[in-house]
């Protein structure tokens, strides 16, 4: 993990890229004095409530359907500990370290508003985990929107459960001891603050935005290669025509395609060979552009949530004059819908890619050797990789079923409408991985198609993309083990800096 710049929580609005910097690039997350003052003020309100005996949900009452059970004194600290222990019941494969780090980062941002009432030392413990590379092992399944994932993070702060630390999986207590840290001591409301809110779905969605943005750029590059390999008709991308349908994303994609294909002898020499291309070729600006517009909407929703106070209850005012408000800010409907929308968006990027790559291997429409190999018959060539792409598209179609429309009743009828936002975010990650593999296959096939068109010059950007792939993968002269080629192609698409380095003018 590369150490990036610091991300400082103060009064400025945070962007999804800030979460990515902490979770993926190792940026240190720091808290300003003004934020600490807000956190301390809210905690002082909690102490005033405890001292007065005024009933406040989660401060001195039970949780969920037990909200009318009043608690006192030592029971309040015990409630916080018990909340984490009882809620840490997730199942399934652990999240990746970067996914858990994104969740922890989003949680600290949530507490920075000073409306939660969490003790300073709990936030300090989360910061220590992030900045010293102690990452709780969090089961991926079991959330209806929140609760379980943050509970597993919370028990690790107590020294309970496994964590990833210095390249090993060790007990949390061992990592704390090696780092010279003590298990955190919880007070009133700390347990509820740790499990409540939307940091899980929001943190995961920030990472998904990073992946999606990179894939949208690669989709234009690879789509342009397929267009050129299939000798597409460039008039479909004419600026005057595209401007008549002024969706912002569509304009960007068309500009990208024109720049990538600039100077192409392949395109110029085949102008007019057909009246119009198949839709998967001529509608790239419309389809990719719509995806970019939906991305922009999703990013706004996620960033709004990231900069929101999402606990329940929320504490307003000062210890001398305060209000305790029970409400539903932990309900993650906005992020859940946004994650579902981005899943649909990326499923469509994969779907049109699969249609393009299918045309590349089909000699009935490509004008190229069958399955892009010189001696088809004895060689199967690129036949079966299209099967793989079709299978991934089918899975993405299943993943595109919205999670948010599912609904279940929990906590004895107390929580009877749920966002399922974490499920939406997790299946979005699966769809993004599938889309990566589909585009990697199209990249492989488009580059192979270029091998049969070398008598002409390629576009400025498409030629660069072909040369880039050839730096890592040799042309396909006869059948060989293809899985490593697909993996290498996918690794290029996942490189965080390669797209900007090799295609600096891409919009």
Q: How far is CA 459 from CA 53, 216, 238, 277, in A?
A: 74, 19, 16, 19
Query: What 8-state DSSP symbol labels residue 143?
Result: -
Q: Is residue 271 exposed (0-12), middle (13-18) or buried (19+ Cβ within 10 Å)?
A: exposed
Which is the catalytic residue, given 57, 111, 165, 443? 57
- Please check whether residue 396 is in contact with residue 352, taking contact to mean a CB–CB distance below 8 angstroms: no
Cite the DSSP H helix spans in 115-198. 120-132, 148-157, 172-179, 190-195
Hey, what's the torsion of the CAs at 259, 494, 342, 106, to 10 degrees? Answer: -120
Report angle CA 484, 360, 453 to the nearest 5 degrees.
95
> Could you give the maximum distance between any two Cα atoms of the chain, in Å?
85
User: Which residues does 375 contact at the CB level (< 8 Å), separation at least 6?
Assistant: 478
446 vs 74: CA distance, rounded Å:
67
Query: What 8-state DSSP symbol labels residue 236?
Result: G
User: Which residues does 358 contact at the CB level (< 8 Å), separation at least 6?
Assistant: 386, 389, 390
Question: Does 165 participate in catalysis according to the annotation?
Answer: no
In our burial notation (b when 16+ CB lie closer than 10 A, e otherwise), range 374-401 reads: eeeeebebbeebbebbbebbebbeebbe
Strands 162-165, 134-136: pairing is: antiparallel
Q: Is residue 504 exposed (0-12), middle (13-18) or buried (19+ Cβ within 10 Å)?
A: exposed
- Please check whether residue 350 is in contact with residue 436, taking contact to mean a CB–CB distance below 8 angstroms: no
Of 435, 144, 150, 419, residue with least CA distance to 301: 419
In our burial notation (b when 16+ CB lie closer than 10 A, e otherwise), range 42-79 reads: bbbbbeebbeeeeebbbbbbbbeeeeeeebeeeebeeb
Q: How far is CA 43 from CA 74, 116, 125, 127, in A?
A: 17, 8, 16, 18
Hey, what's the torsion of the CAs at 26, 32, 37, 43, to 10 degrees? Answer: 0
Q: Which residues pair with 30 in a beta bridge?
A: 8
Q: How far apart are the first and last CA of the chain?
A: 27
Is residue 456 left, alpha or beta, with left meaning phi > 0 and alpha meaning psi from -120 to 50?
Answer: beta
Q: Which residues pair with 317 in a beta bridge?
A: 322
Evaluate the omega torsion of the peptide bond into residue 313 and state whether it is cis, within 30 degrees of 0: yes
Catalytic positions are: 57
């Amino acid at each position: 993990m590369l150490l990036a710049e610091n991300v400082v929580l103060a009064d400025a609005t945070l962007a999804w890229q800030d979460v990515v910097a902490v979770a993926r690039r190792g940026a240190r997350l720091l808290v300003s004095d003004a934020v600490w003052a807000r956190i301390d003020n809210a905690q002082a309100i909690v102490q005033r409530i405890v001292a007065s005996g005024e009933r406040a949900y989660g401060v001195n009452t039970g949780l969920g359907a037990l909200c009318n059970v009043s608690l006192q004194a030592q029971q309040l600290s015990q409630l916080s500990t018990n909340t984490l222990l009882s809620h840490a019941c997730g199942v399934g494969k652990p999240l990746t370290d970067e996914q858990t780090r994104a969740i922890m980062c989003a949680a600290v941002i949530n507490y920075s508003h000073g409306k939660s009432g969490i003790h300073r030392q709990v936030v300090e413990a989360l910061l220590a985990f992030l900045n010293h590379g102690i990452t709780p092992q969090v089961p991926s399944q079991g959330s209806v929107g929140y609760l379980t994932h943050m509970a597993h993070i919370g028990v690790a702060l107590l020294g309970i459960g496994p964590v990833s630390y210095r390249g090993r999986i060790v007990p949390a207590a061992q990592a704390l001891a090696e780092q010279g840290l003590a298990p955190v001591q919880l007070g009133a409301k700390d347990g509820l603050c740790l499990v409540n809110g939307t940091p899980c779905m929001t943190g995961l969605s920030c990472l998904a935005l990073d992946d999606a943005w990179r894939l949208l750029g690669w989709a234009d590059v690879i789509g342009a290669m397929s267009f050129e390999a299939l000798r597409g008709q460039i008039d479909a991308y004419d600026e005057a025509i595209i401007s008549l349908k002024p969706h912002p994303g569509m304009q960007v994609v068309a500009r990208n395609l024109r720049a990538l294909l600039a100077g192409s002898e392949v395109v110029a020499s085949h102008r007019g060979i057909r009246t119009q291309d198949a839709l998967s070729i001529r509608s790239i600006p419309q389809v990719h552009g719509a995806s970019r517009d939906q991305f922009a909407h999703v990013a706004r929703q996620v960033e709004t949530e990231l900069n929101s106070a999402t606990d329940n209850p929320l504490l307003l005012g000062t210890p001398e004059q305060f209000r305790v408000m029970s409400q539903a800010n932990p309900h993650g409907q906005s992020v859940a819908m946004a994650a579902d929308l981005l899943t649909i968006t990326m499923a469509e990027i994969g779907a049109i890619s699969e249609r393009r790559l299918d045309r590349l291997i089909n000699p009935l429409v490509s004008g190229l050797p069958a399955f892009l190999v010189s001696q088809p018959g004895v060689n199967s060539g690129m036949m079966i990789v299209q099967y793989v792409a079709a299978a991934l598209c089918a899975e993405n179609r299943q993943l595109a079923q919205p999670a948010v429309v599912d609904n279940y009743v929990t906590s004895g009828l107390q929580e009877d409408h749920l966002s399922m936002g974490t499920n939406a975010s997790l299946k979005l990650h699966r769809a993004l991985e599938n889309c990566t593999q589909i585009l990697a296959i199209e990249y492989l096939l488009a580059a192979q198609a270029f091998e049969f068109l070398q008598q002409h010059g390629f576009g400025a950007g498409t030629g660069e993309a072909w040369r880039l792939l050839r730096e890592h993968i040799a042309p396909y002269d006869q059948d060989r083990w293809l899985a490593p080629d697909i993996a290498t192609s996918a690794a290029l698409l996942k490189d965080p800096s390669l797209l900007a380095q090799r295609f600096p003018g891409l919009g």
